[in-house]
């Protein structure tokens, strides 16, 4: 990642140092680094032609001219300290970071991922825990799990399931209605009260055909794996679960599927964590392998 385009190089030929807050000489109008900011430090060609006093601001390091009918204190008071104004308005997006307070010459860096401002120390997405990284990581894990399972299973159209099951399959929820749907689910969802609210993921569960049971919103610990969720759902509807005794191709094997946006059934990898492949309000189906119709 490239550094933001801030600062300027010192105009002194034998220096050329990049300074994040260069000093502009009020006499020759050139920019210099801190050590060469004073006219005497860069052999200012215009200094000898100006019969005025000059003082350096301790906050922004810029040179301030002192008018003939004024004094140093008044000149500094009237001086507009630009870096100070900027740092007063800016605050690093990382909670507790005081980089701007401790180093006033540090300019903020804008993150396009979360649309926040950060100091140079936290400018990288990984350094400030940018939410976009979690989204990308979840999508990558989800795709990897689907690719792994595609070798064994073929995505199934929900239209074929409707011909063998009386379960009503609703259309995917629009983004604008997800929060409303989630609130409704929370009021009806079943699950263990021992799961902390912050660790819960809410899913629409469709039970096996043999249960003869209506769909039910349920919540689970998002840190557990799919295999454990399968066991929990099977227990909740009193379905015989011999997955630990039978092969992956046994007709009696229970499989968990997720409904995709296109209403396809995607088998879930039993070893994957819920938080890595599922989101709140997603629809899942538990069914035996023998009852899952083949795509025609």
Tell whether 247 is covered by a domain: yes
Domain identity same for 154 and 287: yes
Bridge partners, 254 (sequence order):
288
Tell whether 263 is covered by a domain: yes
Tell whether 3 is covered by a domain: yes
The residue-averaged pLDDT of 179-195 equals: 91
**34 backbone dihedrals φ, ψ, rounded to 5°:** -55, -50
Domain identity same for 196 and 266: yes
Query: Quick one: pLDDT band at residue 6, thresholds 50, 70, 90?
Result: low
Domain identity same for 92 and 34: no
Tell whether 296 is covered by a domain: no
Both structure tokens of 48: 């000898």
Both structure tokens of 284: 């899942």
Q: What does the pLDDT look like over 27-73, one tens digit per residue?
A: 788 898 888 888 778 888 776 665 556 777 766 666 677 777 777 77
User: The CATH number of the domain where 218 resides is what?
Assistant: 3.10.20.90
User: The CATH number of the domain where 72 resides is what?
Assistant: 4.10.1110
Domain identity same for 167 and 282: yes
Q: Please give the C-alpha separations between residue 181 and each of 76, 192, 202, 279, in angstroms, as whole numbers.
A: 59, 21, 10, 13
103 is in which domain, residue-wise?
80-129
Tell whether 233 is covered by a domain: yes
Tell whether 257 is covered by a domain: yes
Both structure tokens of 79: 């001086």
* Cα 21 versus chain centre, distance: 31
Domain identity same for 119 and 195: no
Domain identity same for 163 and 90: no
Domain identity same for 214 and 271: yes
Domain identity same for 125 and 200: no
Residue ranges in 32-110 assigned as alpha helix (H): 72-78, 82-89, 99-102
Q: What does pTM read for this prediction?
A: 0.44
The residue-averaged pLDDT of 215-223 equals: 95
The residue-averaged pLDDT of 178-194 equals: 90
Domain identity same for 155 and 192: yes
Domain identity same for 101 and 173: no
How far is it, in rounded angstroms, from Cα 181 to Cα 12? 64
Please give the mean pLDDT across all residues of the chain.
78
Question: Tell me, what's the pLDDT at 102?
Answer: 63
Which own/partner pairs from 103-106 qualify as long-range (CB within 8 Å, at least 24 positions apart)?
104/59, 104/60, 105/20, 105/21, 105/60, 105/61, 106/20
Domain identity same for 90 and 30: no
How many domains, in total, are found in the chain?
3
Tell whether 136 is covered by a domain: no
Query: Of 81-90, 94-103, 248-257, which one has max mean pLDDT?
Result: 248-257
Domain identity same for 62 and 72: yes
Tell whether 43 is covered by a domain: yes
Q: What percent of the chain has pLDDT over 90?
A: 30
Question: Tell me, what's the pLDDT at 146?
Answer: 63
């Amino acid at each position: 990642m490239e550094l933001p385009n801030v600062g300027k190089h010192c105009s002194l030929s034998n220096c050329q140092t990049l300074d994040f807050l260069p000093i502009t000489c009020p006499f020759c109008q050139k920019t210099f680094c801190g050590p060469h900011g004073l006219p005497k430090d860069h052999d200012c060609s215009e200094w000898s032609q100006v019969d005025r006093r000059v003082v350096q601001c301790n906050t922004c390091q810029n040179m301030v001219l002192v008018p003939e009918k004024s004094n140093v204190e008044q000149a500094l008071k009237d001086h507009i300290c630009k870096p100070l104004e900027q740092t007063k308005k800016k605050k690093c997006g990382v909670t507790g970071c005081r980089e701007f307070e401790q180093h006033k010459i540090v300019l903020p860096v804008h993150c396009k991922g979360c649309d926040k401002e950060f100091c140079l120390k936290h400018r990288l997405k990984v350094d400030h825990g940018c939410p976009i990284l979690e989204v990308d990581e979840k999508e990558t894990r989800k795709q990897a799990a689907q690719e792994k399972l595609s070798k064994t299973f073929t995505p199934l159209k929900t239209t074929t399931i409707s011909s063998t099951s009386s379960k009503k399959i609703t259309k995917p929820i629009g983004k604008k209605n997800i929060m409303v749907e989630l609130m409704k689910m929370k009021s009806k969802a079943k699950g263990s009260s021992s799961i902390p609210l912050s660790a819960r993921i809410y899913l629409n569960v469709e039970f096996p055909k043999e249960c003869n049971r209506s769909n039910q919103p349920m919540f689970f610990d998002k840190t557990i794996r799919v295999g454990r969720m399968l066991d929990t759902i099977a227990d909740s509807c009193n379905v015989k679960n011999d997955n630990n005794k039978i092969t992956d191709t046994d007709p009696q094997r229970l499989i968990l599927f997720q409904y995709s946006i296109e209403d396809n059934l995607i088998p879930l990898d039993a070893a994957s964590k819920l938080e890595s492949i599922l989101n709140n309000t997603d629809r899942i189906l538990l069914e035996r392998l023998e009852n899952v119709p083949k795509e025609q």
